[in-house]
Amino acid sequence: MWLPMLGMTALPHLGGLVGGYITRQQVKTWYPTLKKPSWRPPNAAFPIVWTCLYTGMGYGSYLVWKELGGFTEDALVPLGLYGLQLALNWTWTPIFFGAHKLKLALMEIVLLTGTVAATMVSWYPINRTATLLMAPYLSWLCLATSLNYCIWRDNSEEKED
C-alpha cells in the first residue's frame, strides 16, 4: 500500500516542478517590473510553502482514495473535484508568469479557490484529516488571490505582454 500513498502524495509536485521552472525565469526578469503590495511574502517563501501545500493535499487525496476503496463510484465527486482543482492549480502559473495575463490569472485563481473549498466540503464526511490537510492550502490561496488582485489592480494592462 506504499506505492499509492507515495504516488498520490507526489502527484501535485509534478505540476509544481513545471510551474517552478516558468516562475524562476520570470522572477528575475518580468516580475520585478510589477508594482506589488508591501505585505507580499518574500520570493524565497513560495517554493517552501508550495512544497508543504502540495505534500499535504497529495496525502489528503490518498486518505480519501483509501477511505473510499480506490477510484470507485463514490470517489467520483471528491476525487474529481480534487483533480479539477489540481489542474486549475497547475494552470495558474503559466497564465500569470508565462503569459503575463494578470486579469485572466485572477479569474482563474478565484475559480481555483472555490474549487478547493468545494473539494474540502466533499471530503469532510469522508475523512476529516484529509479536509484539515487542505486548510492551509485554502488559506494560502486566499492570500495569493488577494496578491493577484492587487498586482492586477496596480499594474496597467499594457504590462500584460
pLDDT the model gives residue 22: 87
Task: Indicate the SS3 state at residue 29.
Answer: coil
Q: Average pLDDT over the chain, rounded to whole?
A: 95
DSSP the chain: -HHHHHHHHHHHHHHHHHHHHHHHHHHHTTGGGS---TTSPPTTHHHHHHHHHHHHHHHHHHHHHHHTTSS-GGGHHHHHHHHHHHHHHHHHHIIIIIT--HHHHHHHHHHHHHHHHHHHHHHTTT-HHHHHHHHHHHHHHHHHHHHHHHHHHHS-GGG--
Q: Which residue shows C-alpha cell 463514490?
A: 74
pLDDT the model gives residue 136: 98
pLDDT the model gives residue 21: 85
The pTM of the full predicted model, rounded to 2 decimals, is: 0.93
Q: What percent of the chain has pLDDT over 70?
A: 96
Q: Residues with Cβ < 8 Å from 84, sequence gap 6 or more?
A: 115, 119
The domain made up of 2-159 has a fold known as: Ferritin (1.20.1260)
pLDDT (mean) for 115-124? 98
pLDDT tens, position by position, 20-75:
888 888 999 999 999 999 999 999 999 999 999 999 999 999 999 999 999 999 99
Q: Which residue shows C-alpha cell 510551474?
A: 19
In this prediction, residue 156 has a pLDDT band, given cuts at 50, 70 and 90, of confident
pLDDT the model gives residue 132: 98
pLDDT the model gives residue 158: 56
